[in-house]
A = this chain, B = another copy of it.
C-alpha cells in the first residue's frame, strides 16, 4: 500500500517498476513526469556543481516519496540515481495536480506535508545541539530512538561510537535506562 496521501489516487495514476543500481530515474533538465514512492532500495537525488562536484540533495529511503515538487515544475532540477536495486511506484504528475480538486486528497496532502515539515524542523533543531550527550538526550526525548542505535546515530548526524558513548554517559547519569543490550529508555 502507498503512504498517505497517494493511497487516495486512482490506481491508473501509479506505475510500478523495478530499479537496478546505477539507473537514472530522471536527469536534471528532463521534463517532469511525476513523483516517486520508493518501496525498497535506495535512491539518491543529486545535482552537479559548477566544478563537477556531486552535491547530494536527498537520500530517499523505503516507504518515502521523493521529487514531490516536480509535480509543480516543468523540469527536474536534479538527477535521481539508484544506489541499491529495489522497486518503486511512479505517480503521475497530472493525476496529482488533478487530485488537488478533491478536498479529501488536498487535506490529506496538506496534513502529511505539514507533519513532514514539522519533523524536519525538529530534527534540524536537534542536530544543531553541539554536545553529543545533549543531542542524544534530545533525540531520545523526541522519540527518534525507535530502531537501532546505528540508525538513531545517523539521524542525529553523529557516529555510532559517539552515540554509544553518550548513551552510556546518560545511563551512568541516571537519565536513561538500559534494561537490555541495545535498548534505552527514559527513566
Contact = CB atoms under 8 A, between A and B. Distances in A.
Contacts of A31: none
A106 B161 CA distance: 45
Interface in A127-160: 127-128, 137-138, 141-142, 157
Contacts of A165: none
A47 B53 CA distance: 39
Interface string A109-123: 111011111101111
Contacts of A53: 137-138, 141
A30 interface: no
Interface stretch (A8-16, A56-64, A83-91): A56-64
Nearest to A72: B111
Contacts of A38: none
Contacts of A116: 113, 117
Contacts of A58: 118, 121-122, 125
Given A58-B125, A125-B56, A118 B72 contact: no
Contacts of A126: 55
26 contacts: A49-B138, A49-B141, A51-B187, A53-B141, A55-B138, A57-B121, A57-B122, A58-B122, A68-B114, A68-B117, A69-B111, A69-B117, A69-B118, A72-B114, A100-B106, A106-B106, A106-B110, A109-B109, A109-B110, A110-B110, A113-B114, A123-B124, A124-B124, A124-B127, A127-B157, A128-B157
Given A71-B114, A117-B116, A141 B106 contact: no
B157 A118 contact: no
A103 B106 CA distance: 8
A101 interface: yes
A97 interface: yes
